[in-house]
Amino acid sequence: MKIKVSAPGKLMLMGEHAVVYNHPCLVTAVDKRLYVEAEIIDKNEDEIIAPQVKESRFVLEAIAYFKKQFKINQFVKISTNGDFSHRVGLGSSSAVTVATFKALSLVFNISLTDRQIFDLSYHVNIAIQGVGSGFDIAIATFGKTTYFVTGGKIIEPLNIKPLPLVVGYSGIKADTPFYIRKVREAFRSRQTQMDSIFEEIESLVEQGKALLLNSDYEKIGALMTKNHQLLQQLGVSIPKLDLMVEKSIKAGAWGAKLSGAGGGDCIIALVSDDKRIVVENAIKSVGGEIITVDNNAEGVKVEEEV
């Protein structure tokens, strides 16, 4: 039996960095997906076909951990491909890990809940990267737009519609571990100040969650802009991201912020339909690239069984 499954990429809506320190965040799944095909093979080693070396590390580690956990000694062939380039920071490594566990569970006929897929994938993520809150693993698994607390203490998909977002890529690949370490160093040297920024971010996330449930975009936009200012205070923004955020707001967005670790990758702007083109042009005018993605997408799922 050959099985094809997919898992979505993500965009952080609010709460990045604070979520590493036991605070909540809001994250949404995008409609760009990572696909994994798996089958049991009659060979004496596993075969991985992954276009990105980075992805194959996650696949290999996931296979090893799965076999250990479920005492399996057969071999598999896994091939991956994606709708999105890993350069823009939409979360290809978390999606590939989640999709691999789902595919393995199906080919070996071991039933796993989404929570178990999250736990297995988070273990692999931490084994390889050493750091991370797991928000990206949670969204690849559960999908939708989700309220998440560090390590999966709370994973609460919200029952809402897709958000009217514009996504602008800075052209700079963010070095997530570098920015996580940068914040950690700042946290060690000035904990009280950092704690109070994290508290403020948490308050924005809590308000944001309530407003999302009411689709109150104007107020959510204001919270996003405030979140960006707090990320600036954490020292993770860069001039290109600040400029794209500023231009989006000037062009009429309800609000805008960097999305993710900082240092590059994307900004998100919340916009009304009539402002979308103006905001997109404003982002392009300062060298940003518009990434066309929808959000609130489905979590990990089976695409095909052959």
Q: Is 135 in the site for ligand MEV (CB under 6 A)?
A: yes
The residue from 92, 121, 141, 176 that contacts ligand MEV (CB under 6 A) is 176
52 or 133, CB closer to ligand MEV?
Answer: 133
The residue count for binding ligand MEV (CB under 6 A) is 12
In terms of C-beta density within 10 A (0-12 exposed, 13-18 middle, 19 or more buried), how is residue 42 classed? exposed
Shortest reach from residue 107's CB to ligand MEV, in Å = 29
Q: Is 132 in the site for ligand MEV (CB under 6 A)?
A: yes
Report d(CA 130, CA 72) in Å as an integer: 26
* Region binding ligand MEV by CB under 6 A among candidate stretches 11-19, 59-67, 185-193, 198-206: 11-19
Out of 34, 98, 180, 297, the residue judged to bind ligand MEV by CB under 6 A: 180
Name 6's bridge partners.
35, 301
Q: How far is the CB of 180 from ligand MEV (least distance, A)?
A: 5
With binding defined as CB under 6 A, does residue 19 bind ligand MEV? yes
CB nearer to ligand MEV: pick between 22 and 69: 22
Query: Contacting ligand MEV (CB under 6 A), which of 11, 20, 244, 291?
Result: 20
Under 8 Å between Cβ of 254 and 221: yes
121 binds ligand MEV (CB under 6 A): no
Closest CA to 99 of 36, 41, 153: 36
**Residue-wise DSSP of 13-69:** EE-TTGGGGT-EEEEEEEEEEEEEEEEEESSSS-EEE-SSHHHHHHHHHHHHHHHHH
β-bridge partners, 30: 295
3-class secondary structure, 192: helix
Q: How far is CA 146 from CA 67, 162, 193, 302, in A?
A: 30, 12, 28, 21
Instruction: With beta carbons less than 8 A apart as the criterion, state whether 158 and 144 touch.
Output: yes
Within 10 angstroms of residue 261's Cβ, the number of other Cβ atoms is: 24
The mark string for 82-111 relative to ligand MEV (x by CB under 6 A, - otherwise) is ------------------------------
Residue 9 or residue 132: which is nearer to ligand MEV going by CB? 132
Residue 261 near ligand MEV by CB under 6 A? yes
Binding site for ligand MEV (CB under 6 A): 12, 16-17, 19-20, 132-133, 135, 176, 180, 260-261
